[in-house]
Amino acid sequence: MSRVLEKKKKRLKRRMVILCVLLYLFFIISCLYTVDYSYNEIATGECRQDLLSFSVINGYLDITVFGDKITIDITGLTEKLRSINIT
């Protein structure tokens, strides 16, 4: 019986550590988001953030992650979705 209780305690400790790490990461990312937004508002007068953004323009998906811009061509995908009446 004590082995079972020990295993349960170990699992509970692992789960708590994982939960704490995830909450810490969420907190850090939300702080980065807030600081980036505030800095852009003060420096440029624009209220925007550059940590993570998505936009679709003329069949291209623009993804910005930490200021690095990635462009993906999605024209073929939109045509396929229209052919099966999803969009």
Q: What is the pLDDT of residue 58?
A: 81
Strand order in the sheet with 52-57: 52-57, 60-65, 68-73
Name the pTM for this structure.
0.49
Q: What is the pLDDT of residue 23?
A: 95
Measured CA to CA, the distance from residue 65 to residue 72 in angstroms comes to 14
Q: What is the pLDDT of residues 26-84, one digit of tens each?
A: 998 888 777 766 666 666 766 666 677 778 888 788 888 777 788 888 877 767 777 77
Measured CA to CA, the distance from residue 74 to residue 59 in angstroms comes to 5
